Amino acid sequence: MKSLADCLLYGFVDSAYLDGRDPAELCRQLCDGGADLVQLRAKDWPVDDIACLAKRLAPITADTGVRLVINDHPELAAEVGAPTAHLGQEDFFDAGHRHVDDVKPSGSALELGLSSHAPEQAKRACECGAEYVAIGPVFATPTKPGRPPVTLNYVRWAAANLDRPWFAIGGIDLENLDDVLAAGARRVCVVSAILRAPDVAGACRQFKERLLCAAR
């Protein structure tokens, strides 16, 4: 499994984009296409259902050396052997947490990523020990309805100021990817542009090739 610093493409198995497909098969396609991380995000599901699916996805990602990320549930991530969990601002700081150790199970080697929507939030995420930071939404996206885009200016700020891995997220597709890379991003999270593509693995490969070129 790659270190976070070496990860470039962050994919998702998102309950809002399943469209009747088997989430385990989608996970396989993401892994086959070159995703370095796959996040299980199921905002509208009971935690027991998320746990059942996480247990199906864990061996798929483990067999391919891909990081499984569990959204919203660090305890569940540790339970199923996922190396990484992710929380939003409202689920971390607004819930009263001040350091990532507050939500990591005791004795766990779990790594935690945090979302951010402004420089001060990214700084705070770094100060509290987040292993990576998500920067976005860069562009308007239905994944975050009602949240204004942070624009490429925030990406440029992150490129100049953050001292740990960070991923640009939000409305990123193959048409605007070059602009995101030109602003300084080297790692991106992609949801709909991959999950809504006719060929999920093929879409992953297209993103990954562009990211690898930018990283050289």
State the residue for tokens 């990591």: 104
- Alpha helices (H) along the chain: 23-33, 47-64, 74-80, 89-92, 119-127, 151-161, 177-182, 192-195, 200-215
Share of the chain above pLDDT 70, in %: 100
Q: Taking the CB of residue 185, how many other CB atoms lie within 10 A of it?
A: 25
Structure-token pair, residue 212: 């690898």
CATH code of residue 193 = 3.20.20.70
Q: Count of domains in the chain?
A: 1
pLDDT over threshold 90, residue 129: yes
Tens digits of residue pLDDT in 66-106: 999 999 999 999 999 999 999 999 999 999 999 999 999 98
Distance (Å, rounded) from C-alpha 32 to C-alpha 13? 14
Cβ atoms 7, 215 nearer than 8 A: no
Q: Which domain holds residue 81?
A: 4-215
Cβ atoms 105, 75 nearer than 8 A: yes
Tens digits of residue pLDDT in 102-122: 999 988 999 999 999 999 999
